[in-house]
Amino acid sequence: MKPITNNDHLSRIKITGYKSIAKCDLPMGSLNVLIGANGAGKSNFISFFRLSSVLLNQRLQSLVGRMGGPDTLLHFGRKKTEFMSAELSFGHNGYKFELEPTNDNRMMFRHESRFCDSKREYDIGAGHFESQVNQNHMNLENDTLPITLRWRVYHFHDTSDSAKVKQTHRINDNDYLREDGANLAAFLYRLQKHHQQHYTRIIKTIQMVAPFFGDFYLRPTPDNTDYIQLEWTEKEQDIPFKASELSDGTLRFILLTTVLLQPEDYMPDSIIIDEPELGLHPYAINVLAGLIKHASNQHQLIISTQSVELVNQFDADDLIVVDKQQGTSTFKRLDNEILSEWLEDYSLGELWKKNLLGGRPQR
């Protein structure tokens, strides 16, 4: 496992009673690649990070309502699972919480606490409906929760005609790239104006996968200069095209490249991406793997994948194998040493296809 490079990064995660995850206790590195069959629980694991971010930003009840109530979050509902819990460790510091359902279909804190130096636990309380961690002014030597507020869970599945990334949006919506890429044009416009070196690197990387691509054609919309829309040009041409004239795979690669090559000031500390390989050519997947590995030198990356090509680019101990047994998701990290003899003759992807790693459909 590639060790974390920053004490703000998640070093261990424990989850119980959440969706298909009855119990999970995982050490985390700087690069964490989840593999597994459809429905095994990879997306549920990824969604937990979204839940944690929303919870710590005091929007828990809004999320619970949108998801359809507590029973959609609890493992097989409240009849089987009375409460869900989690423990997030950042080196010796961390955060714990337990949530239980109420009769009016909300989730209430059964327990919330922070801990410091692994031993000292500071109780925040119980019975509240939104996190009190930021209202609690305990004098801790170290801030135990910096990273959880800077997780960003990216999901670029929607590239349909109605996708937000293809629509006009406010030109000043450029502080960071949104999780669905909706403000891509505004964000790139800011990079073009103020971070030319990073912008140029993004363009050159896109051209490795899409040689026809020339540049983005970024400008305020003529009818309303407060708005902008994603446009681009082909090499040696000056006629702008709309984002709808990019293939789905090319647009997704543009979004992923922007995430992984954006300036350090805008980069989230932990980057979480669900199935980044969707619609990508095998060569594009190889380039993407290089970007992921490079970004993991300074940041923590958590991705889920079903791509053999992508798995082939990583080491065995980067992988977390997700299986489902009797309705419950299980998680295990692989060990390079145990697999070393197999890896002399086979790639990781081949071992996965042969079901020697797990993470394949089970009857």
User: Given this model, what pLDDT does residue 245 score?
Assistant: 97
The total number of structural domains in the chain stands at 1
Q: For residue 120, what are the domain limits? A: 1-147+315-363
Residue 90 lies in a domain: yes
Q: Which residues contact 148 (CB under 8 A, 6 or more apart)?
A: 52, 53, 56, 88, 95
* Long-range CB contact pairs, 59-63, < 8 A, 24+: 59/130, 60/99, 60/107, 60/129, 60/130, 60/131, 61/106, 61/107, 61/129, 61/130
* Long-range CB contact pairs, 254-259, < 8 A, 24+: 254/184, 254/206, 255/154, 255/156, 255/165, 255/177, 255/181, 255/184, 256/154, 256/156, 256/288, 256/291, 257/202, 257/205, 257/206, 257/291, 258/177, 258/181, 258/184, 258/187, 258/188, 258/202, 259/154, 259/177
User: Given this model, what pLDDT does residue 144 score?
Assistant: 52
Find, among 162, 218, 164, 166, the residue nearest to 191 by Cα: 218
Cα dihedral 287, 290, 296, 302 in deg (nearest 10):
50
Residue 160 lies in a domain: no
Contact of 360 with 37, CB cutoff 8 Å: yes
DSSP state of 347: -
Tell me how many helices (H) and strands (E) the chain has.
9, 18
Contact of 276 with 303, CB cutoff 8 Å: yes
User: Given this model, what pLDDT does residue 140 score?
Assistant: 47
Contact of 111 with 100, CB cutoff 8 Å: no
Residue 172 lies in a domain: no
User: Given this model, what pLDDT does residue 142 score?
Assistant: 47
Residue 94 lies in a domain: yes
Residue 213 lies in a domain: no
User: Given this model, what pLDDT does residue 224 score?
Assistant: 95
User: Given this model, what pLDDT does residue 223 score?
Assistant: 92
Give Cα 348 distance to the centre of its chain: 23
Domain CATH code at residue 8: 3.40.50
Residue 242 lies in a domain: no
pLDDT in tens, 144-169: 555 456 789 999 999 999 999 999 99
Single pTM value for the model: 0.93
User: Given this model, what pLDDT does residue 116 score?
Assistant: 83
Residue type at 314?
F
Surface-to-core class of residue 344, CB atoms within 10 Å of its CB (0-12 exposed, 13-18 middle, 19+ buried): exposed
CA pair distance 210, 247, nearest whole angstrom: 10
Each residue's pLDDT expressed in tens, for the chain with a length of 363 residues? 888 888 889 999 999 999 999 999 999 999 999 999 999 999 999 999 999 999 998 999 999 999 999 999 999 999 999 999 999 998 888 899 999 999 999 999 999 999 887 668 889 999 999 999 877 645 444 455 554 567 899 999 999 999 999 999 999 999 999 999 999 999 999 999 999 999 999 999 999 999 999 999 999 999 999 999 999 999 999 999 999 999 999 999 999 999 999 999 999 889 999 999 999 999 999 999 999 999 999 999 999 999 999 999 999 999 999 999 999 999 999 988 888 889 888 999 999 998 888 888 876
Residue 79 lies in a domain: yes
User: Given this model, what pLDDT does residue 48 score?
Assistant: 96
Contact of 274 with 180, CB cutoff 8 Å: no
Backbone angles phi, psi at 151, to 5 degrees: -70, 145
